[in-house]
Structure 1
């Protein structure tokens, strides 16, 4: 009787109690409590099956946790994309409203300006013998011309010309734009590094409009490095094969974080008075948007600025080259 009682206690009751304890632990979320296998009989097989189930539960939990992490990352990535799209929509709506206002203002100002310039030139011819008045008239002409330039910028900003797309080599367009500006005085102490990927394909774009964008970005970069520096231009095809990206990176003064959200706003500029109208990047933003592309900026004060332009890949064979 004692032997039978000992056998039942050690061979059946203890293993079953151990399984009960492990079951409770599992219910509490602890999957580390395995049942010791003390025999090769049915109870031992039950304990072994229980431990196999525990291993599968651990694996299933790990897979769920991994899936949860991946899902969280995807949700965060999509949320960032939605926030970016929302900001782009807000910027587009703001620019559209300002464009309509700018168009009306520019047309109202343009006619009087033309009259002032015309009569100033007439007076300058008539008053050649009066140097003092000549000097005053020259000042009027100079300042009126400056205002006229701003008005032209306003009209360019408001016009929203539809891109006349033709097949174009982006690298060639970059080099051509550089040839137009790199001999200017502002580029004298700037080293230009060209990392242009030869594999960048021919894409459809309006060369004149995109050249205007490149020129605006190049001149802004030069203005940010008055004491000299390095301007790196990088072109590449996107890994997912959906767009061509052009990056302009300077080693200039950088843009304060509080200004980053405003650099594409019309008339916003950190340049010295009379040095810029603050319309260049606003016009550029509109051009890239009408090409269904993106223009983004990253900057750090004291380290420099990167402006990245993404232009969508379109089949160039659809339109004959000009």
Structure 2
């Protein structure tokens, strides 16, 4: 059974409204909270030495890890430190608090400097504005190309001498082109240049359309797809493009996760309960690493 004191410590970590670095007696960072993860983004801080993050610790103050008597309660310490963030040295304010765990004492290095968090938020805002401008430009260029492709395909479909197989292939191309148009719409919405469109649609039809597009790729990869529609679901007022984009991302991520697995199977089940319409998606892939869970909803995040 988990030690209750240790359990309380790990639960407490993410309730602190500031970046926290947990340092053990060997001066290694053994854990960080969600605020610290957002501050360092994709940088793997856990496992690093304390001096890798705070290189001038002993110059600026007496190291509380060295000075600790390893008895609780002991004094907390406030000090200014130099921290390396994105290869840049930043002067920050820290509150260092010793905490008893199941087997030892660790030291919570709490970043109390709001300025650095605000500066990092400003940097992220500037990056997002850059991405929005880039997305708007890409959307415009692709929209022009897509319109040309769609026009040619529709012209070919109007010809009577096409074989049934040719008509089927062209309709598949047209469906993919429309899917690309939906993606362009998403880029435009990300850039705040185009409003979201909501209408009455059926979730099962959206799922089936997605499967028809991805099925050839999955067959080539040796992946079987099982789709189960438990009940005919009611139409819902929603943005079909956004739902399609979300499902396609999940399906393609599932494909990538099953590349090296022996069993390759994707199962999609649609249904409803008393309150919600549900889409259950299961695959036999490797899953998502814990450190990436917090970032899966960030625009353009990929591993």
- With normalisation by structure 2, the TM-score equals 0.39
The structure having more radius of gyration, on CA atoms, is 1
Higher helix share: 1
Higher RCO (CA < 8 A, seq sep 6+) = 1
- With normalisation by structure 1, the TM-score equals 0.37
